[in-house]
Amino acid sequence: MTQTPAEKPFVALNIAVLTVSDTRVFDDDRSGTTLVDRLVAAGHSLVARDIVPDEVAAIRGKVEGWIADPGIDVILTTGGTGFTGRDVTPEAVEPLFEKRMEGFSTVFHLVSFGKIGTSTLQSRATAGVANATYVFCLPGSPGACRDAWDEILVHQLDVRHRPCNFVEILPRLDEHLKRPKAKGATV
């Protein structure tokens, strides 16, 4: 059983949110707003937010720029994880991963199956580590973003979560880079 004890101090992470869409603007970006609202409510810092079209070069370029920024700990993308011709987020982002996070997709689909049944098969949600930055690629629906945050990310991005979490290992992701990340998150 997992728990979040209060005796360990919370560590706020710097998070960037990228919406992938040919049609959305900030005023009607419900999925991006869902993620922003939740990460801020959890105590994290929104350090960047953008919207790019469903194009490999645009998506990859934005994510590459953010993973090169030592002030960004986590990138959340929403959109472009389906099967239509314009859904290219995994193709754009996965080549940047140094390590894939296979378990994220599995757990996301378990959570999603409980809510939308076999329709979860229509998502290619993915995650990994790129340049010591966690990258999570979520579907473009507000419900999927809510489920991913509420059921997975809010816990794994909280240093107090037990038995383990992503925050406590964040400083060790870049041992080979000698770059400070998530100060105060050392184990």
In terms of Cα–Cα distance, which of 153, 161, 181 is closest to 78?
153
| Number of domains comprising the chain | 1
Helix (H/G/I), strand (E/B), else coil: 175? coil
Q: Which domain does 93 fall in, by range?
A: 14-173
Contacts (Cβ under 8 Å, ≥6 apart) of 76: 15, 16, 17, 18, 35, 39, 136, 138, 153
- Taking the CB of residue 34, how many other CB atoms lie within 10 A of it? 22
Domain assignment present for residue 106? The answer is: yes
**What are 109-160's pLDDT values in tens digits?**
999 999 999 999 999 999 999 999 999 999 999 999 999 999 999 999 999 9
Q: What is the CATH number of the domain that holds 97?
A: 3.40.980.10
Domain assignment present for residue 1? The answer is: no
pLDDT band at 187 (very low <50, low <70, confident <90, very high): very low
Report the pLDDT averaged over residues 58-67: 98
